[in-house]
Amino acid sequence: MTAVARCFALLALIAMSACGGRDLPVERIQVPDGFSVHVYNAAVPNARSLRLADERTVIVSTRSDGRVYALVDEDGDYRGERVHEIAEGLTSPNGIAMHEGDLYLATRRRILRYADIAENLDPPPEPEVIYEGLPEASHHGWRYLGVGPDERLYVSIGAPCNVCLEDGHAVIDRLSLDGGGRETYAAGVRNSVGFDWDPLTGDLWFTDNGRDMMGDNRPPDELNHATAAGQHFGYPFCHGADIPDPEFGDQRPCSEFRAPARALGPHVAALGMRFYTGDQFPPAYRNNIFIAEHGSWNRSEKIGYRISLVRLDDERNAVAYETFASGWLQGEQAWGRPVDVLQMPDGSLLVSDDRAGAIYRIAYEDKQ
């Protein structure tokens, strides 16, 4: 894209954002009593992962669009009306993380760092390549990225297939913030596109997409809980807690692996997840997990296309799995597909939607 074309494209995005974007049927999104939903921004095509750069700046990645944006709420009206393009022309720039003001961005093969990003949006800084050499396979080649309590980068590396056994894939790896010391933290993870750390214990929890082509209702997607480095979560030998794989299941029994903390819906495509630690929502939501379910593509009847809630007890057992927000799926037609969730400083929740190219804000009205 030429500089002139890029300028006009960005102006179009800003104009659309300032005017509220396209009309979206937000009234169809159903949330519990006391909650409300509005469009935070409707001008980010293929909106995927969400991170907070500062109190009013939200970073939004894409996957197929190859761009990364910053949305700025300039006037405190809970809408990201100002759009800045941080990067373009990247390969699957899905994974983003923030640490001490720096933006970390994972493409298929590289991890980049943009220094002090919130203070340098126009123009954005040139990135530093801190790691190069992630696997090249395009299948499940979009990364998820986060910084753990140990101040190390965690990056997901999905299986390069539906089901196969390939070294260096189906893992969550970690490395230092300067790109050194890469090691595998969790293995047997088919494709995780969402993880977070328990605010009470510091443990890693992550979603994982189950394999395809075993029918409508098998296997489940998974919510997993890693209590230490080096645990194996079953793929490709075992799915869910006790479903041997038709091809690989006779090589190792399910009893060898760490079972899911919670079986999720089959093929719901559970992606981004966050522990809720805010005080805007009622206390019953605190320290529980919100999950963005992107929605099934390979079932005879679609499911997912919603935000789910997993409730944990005092021992951090996953004791309930319920729908929190739905309505993106109408019959067998989906007008939107949730991807990630982000808690804002005021305790509201943002939800990205790569089909509608939008970000929504869910707030508890009693706290407005």
pLDDT digits (tens, 9 = 90+) for 277-324: 999 999 999 999 999 999 999 899 999 999 999 999 999 999 999 999
pLDDT tens digits along 146-191? 999 999 999 999 999 999 999 999 999 999 999 999 999 999 999 9
* Interacting residues of 353 by C-beta distance below 8 A, sequence separation 6+: 47, 328, 336, 337, 338, 339, 359, 360
The amino acid at 287: N
CATH at residue 32: 2.120.10.30
Burial of 179 (0-12, 13-18, 19+ CB in 10 A): middle
Within a domain: 8: no
Position 93 pLDDT exceeds 90:
yes
How many domains does the chain contain in total?
1
Angle at 56 between CA 72 and CA 78, to 5 degrees: 85
Within a domain: 186: yes
- Read off the pLDDT band of 11 (50, 70, 90): very low
Within a domain: 70: yes
- Read off the pLDDT band of 23 (50, 70, 90): confident
Average pLDDT taken over every residue of the chain? 94
Query: What DSSP character marks residue 8?
Result: H
The average pLDDT across 25-43 equals 97
- Read off the pLDDT band of 367 (50, 70, 90): low
Q: What end-to-end distance do the CA atoms of the chain give, in Å?
A: 42
Within a domain: 39: yes
Position 3 pLDDT exceeds 90:
no
- Read off the pLDDT band of 13 (50, 70, 90): very low
Within a domain: 10: no
Per the structure, the complete domain to which residue 249 belongs is given by 21-367
pLDDT for the residue numbered 22: 64
The average pLDDT across 15-29 equals 68
pLDDT tens digits along 211-243? 999 999 999 999 999 999 999 999 999 999 999
Strands (E), 286-364: 289-293, 306-312, 318-325, 329-330, 333-334, 338-343, 349-353, 358-364
Query: What DSSP character marks residue 125?
Result: P
Burial of 213 (0-12, 13-18, 19+ CB in 10 A): exposed
Within a domain: 11: no
Within a domain: 239: yes
Within a domain: 3: no
Q: What percent of the chain has pLDDT over 70?
A: 93
The average pLDDT across 74-80 equals 96
